[in-house]
Amino acid sequence: MRLEEKINDVTRIYCIVDAVVHQFKKESGLRCLRPCSRCCWNPRVNTTILELLPAAYWFFKKKMCQHWLIKLKEDQTKNERNCILLKFSGYDRDVGRCMVYKLRPLICRLFGFSAVLNKNNQPQLVTCKLIKTAFYKNYLETIRLLEAKQVPIMKNYYMMLYSIDPILAREHYPLITAFQKAIEIVISHFAFQQNERV
């Protein structure tokens, strides 16, 4: 499968996830607090290379890949605390916005509004303390949705990614590492294509 096809397939999965999460939010009454970018401050967020190919390709089309490779290498030495794709407004360093929100990885789409399966194969909601506290009554009512299996299950969407490319979807890396590898793959792919045309 060509790289562009993989990227299109990943973005199609993102559309499916967004629709399912939107429906769950509607049924549960849970939502993120505004403004909030607390998840983006977690340095332990892991993702796969495949999930970041759409963002890497977007930056490639904007001719910004070399800029990002330099920035990624600099940030690895700085040991930044927040996601590299978080952009702050000039006046507030506590709240940021994702530069690639429409292309963000699965964990960024699913966290707060999905479930993992426990050892008994029962769904358990994965959400943050802020959502639990702010919408405690709604949070308690999600038990009926869990029992009815009307909660997005993370594993299902990761399996969809795995079916696109088992190699690029298998291993999870810190986001900064996965993003760098995704950019390198995009650059290599198009450099190879260009050489073939010559």
| Domain coordinates in residue numbering, the chain | 3-191
pLDDT in tens, the chain (198 residues): 699 999 999 999 999 999 999 999 999 999 998 878 888 887 778 999 999 999 999 999 999 999 999 988 887 666 666 788 888 776 666 677 889 999 999 999 999 999 999 999 889 999 999 999 999 999 988 888 888 878 999 999 999 999 999 999 999 999 999 999 999 999 999 886 665 554
- pLDDT tens-digit map of 141-198: 888 888 887 899 999 999 999 999 999 999 999 999 999 999 999 999 988 666 555 4
Type of residue found at 41 = W
- pTM of the shown model: 0.89
How many of the other CB atoms lie within 10 Å of CB of 89? 11
Type of residue found at 21 = V
